[in-house]
Amino acid sequence: MLSSSPDSSSPHLSREKPTPTFFIALLAMGLGSFAIGVGEFISMGLLPEISSSLGISIPQAGHTISLYALGVVIGAPVLAMLSTGRSRTRMLVVLMGLYAIANIASAMAPNYEAMLALRLLSGLPHGTFFGIASLVAATLAPSHMRTRAVAYVMLGLSTATLAGVPIATALGQWLGWRAAFVLVGVIALASAVCIVKFVPYEPPQSGGRVSHELSMFTNRQVWITLGIGAIGSGGLFAIYSYVKPTLMSLAGLTEMGVPFVLALFGAGMVTGNIFGSRMADRDLLGTIKRCLIWSMIVCGVFALVAPILWLACIAVFCVGTVVVIGPAVQIRLMDVAGKAQTMAAAMNHSAFNFANAAGAFFGGLVIDAGMGYAATGWVGVLLSAAGLAMFYWMVIDARRALNH
């Protein structure tokens, strides 16, 4: 339970050295994660345009974000079950195709109700795509590069935060918000084509059953590991959700400086994925623990330096690096999920959407309570500490299981 081992059921078990085709395959899947990253966050930058076009209020337009997140939560377990016994690579193509269709259809939404339904549909493939892509990436990778392979796929999500969302937002403001959703659909279609061409075909898993995937729900190690991501990474989102008003009100950040700060956060995510994943390949559990401790430190520092702009910018970059916990938790899930590989991997992204919602909720709670915007950093400290407590619970529970 405490050791890390590749998924022995896979037909593509790792070689000692990665080949150029391995990195091209990761790039093809990473393009899909880039499309999903842009599609997930694009509404946030275009709420005024969406509300004006559909004749609704900005808070109502914000419900499109909530419906997308609900789609992620619903789609992860449902589509994971439907993936049972099917080729993982073919499922990646299908999921990207669905994502493309739903986003292009969102661009054609005639009214508010249709837009809500289409954003829900857009979120359905999200978690399962990331889950299956992570499994395929780890399967193709040499054994000493599993976390890095997953992180490289996730790098598309970080790059979307760094560059994709600002570019798509600018396009939406220039040509209208519908053009931004068409762009997401086109990128998703390009990813589907690249996956067909560059990702080695993986035949259906022999003996795969829905009951195997459902066994995840009785696996305590899986639930505790999911809890580490769902709670421990909430601090990252508590700060990110309110970073714009925090720095504008406390540190004098101008409207023009907001994209720079958001880019710093994205740069931190990219850095964390690249360098943190190397650490995780050497010491998976140690990296998860150190990441949670690091999260406590940088969230606390942000709370203290938020009124000082240049220090706050450094802290925002450091908070972004915490994202490395995602690939590390993903690999841990692969190690403890047994025959429920697809379900556990897909649910990991439901857990991170929960972290997003929880971080934003508790961050808003302390602001509304009059504790000030900087208090979102202290929310981050508490959520990271709770994640660390769950980490120790996971370790103790695994050791007890070994001794019985």
> Domain-by-domain residue ranges, the chain?
11-207, 209-404
Q: For the purposes of burial, counting CB atoms within 10 Å of the CB of 338, is it exposed (0-12), middle (13-18) or buried (19 or more)?
A: middle
Nearest residue to 329 (alpha-carbon basis) of 274, 288, 296: 288
| Cα–Cα distance measured from residue 336 to residue 173, given in angstroms and rounded to the nearest whole number | 46
Q: Would 11-207 and 209-404 be classified into the same CATH topology?
A: yes
- If you search the block for the tokens 């559909």, which residue do you land on? 54
CA terminus-to-terminus distance, the chain:
12
Classified as helix, coil or strand, 207 is coil
| Cα–Cα distance measured from residue 299 to residue 271, given in angstroms and rounded to the nearest whole number | 17
pLDDT tens, N- to C-terminus, the chain (404 residues):
454 444 434 444 444 677 788 899 999 999 999 999 999 878 777 877 888 899 988 768 878 877 888 888 888 888 888 888 889 999 999 999 999 999 999 999 999 999 999 999 999 999 899 889 988 998 898 888 888 888 889 888 888 877 887 888 788 888 989 999 999 999 999 999 999 999 999 888 766 677 777 777 788 999 999 999 999 988 888 888 788 888 988 998 887 887 788 888 888 988 988 888 888 888 999 999 999 999 999 999 999 999 999 999 999 999 999 988 888 898 898 888 888 888 888 888 788 878 877 888 888 888 888 898 999 999 999 999 999 999 999 999 998 878 77
For the chain, counts of helices (H) and of strands (E): 19, 0
Which CATH number fits the domain 209-404, given the four candidates 3.40.50.970, 1.10.760.10, 1.20.1250.20, 3.40.50.10260?
1.20.1250.20
Helix (H) or strand (E) holding 357, with range, is helix 341-368
DSSP letters for 51-80? HHHHT--HHHHHHHHHHHHHHHHHHHHHHH
Classified as helix, coil or strand, 328 is helix
DSSP 200: P
DSSP 142: -
| pTM score | 0.79
Classified as helix, coil or strand, 183 is helix
Token output for 240: 């990110």
Which CATH number fits the domain 11-207, given the four candidates 1.25.40.10, 3.40.50.10860, 3.40.710.10, 1.20.1250.20?
1.20.1250.20
Q: Annotate 84-98 with b (16+ C-beta within 10 A) or e (fewer).
A: bebbbbbbbbbbbbb
